[in-house]
């Protein structure tokens, strides 16, 4: 078994409100080990978010969601340990109800 890749920030984004946005796409001819994700609410106002993973960049389907309209309180941070492997072209997408969230993805390229 090959060694695990060195963990680093793969992507970070503060997306517009109410718009599904491509957050991270696995590079061509590579794989990715996604280890963690944080969602930080920079506002005192509660909101919610969605995170999905679509194989090979396909349109987001109902089975692609990891989190759907998950609430996050004001001035709070959500952390998830994912520890999953993605393949070339797989896309992680995010959505936030208000434009007050910052998403950060950690992992390594394989």
Domain 8-109, CATH among 3.40.50, 2.40.160, 2.60.120, 3.20.20: 2.60.120
Distance between CA 79 and CA 102 in Å, rounded?
12
Within 8 A by CB and 6+ apart from 14, the residues are 42, 99, 101, 102, 103
Per-residue confidence (pLDDT) for residue 36, from 0 to 100:
96
pLDDT tens for the chain, 110 residues long, are 566 667 899 999 999 999 999 999 999 999 999 999 999 999 999 999 999 999 999 999 999 999 999 999 999 999 999 999 999 999 999 999 999 999 999 999 98
Break the chain into its structural domains and give their ranges: 8-109
Q: What b/e readout covers 55-77, taking b as 16+ CB neighbours within 10 angstroms?
A: eeeeeeeeebbebeeeebeeeee
Per-residue confidence (pLDDT) for residue 7, from 0 to 100:
85
Q: How far is CA 51 from the centre of its chain?
A: 6
Per-residue confidence (pLDDT) for residue 1, from 0 to 100:
53
Per-residue confidence (pLDDT) for residue 5, from 0 to 100:
67
Per-residue confidence (pLDDT) for residue 2, from 0 to 100:
60
Per-residue confidence (pLDDT) for residue 10, from 0 to 100:
97
């Amino acid at each position: 078994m090959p060694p695990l890749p060195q963990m680093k920030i793969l992507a970070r984004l503060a997306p517009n409100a109410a718009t599904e946005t491509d957050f991270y796409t696995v590079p061509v001819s590579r794989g990715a080990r996604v280890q963690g994700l944080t969602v930080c609410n920079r506002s005192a106002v509660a909101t919610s978010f969605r995170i999905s993973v679509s194989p090979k960049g396909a349109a987001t389907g109902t089975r692609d969601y990891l989190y759907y309209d998950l609430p996050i309180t004001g001035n709070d941070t959500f952390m998830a340990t994912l520890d999953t492997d993605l393949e070339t072209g797989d896309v992680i997408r995010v959505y936030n109800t208000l434009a007050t969230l910052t998403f950060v993805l950690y992992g390594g390229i394989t």
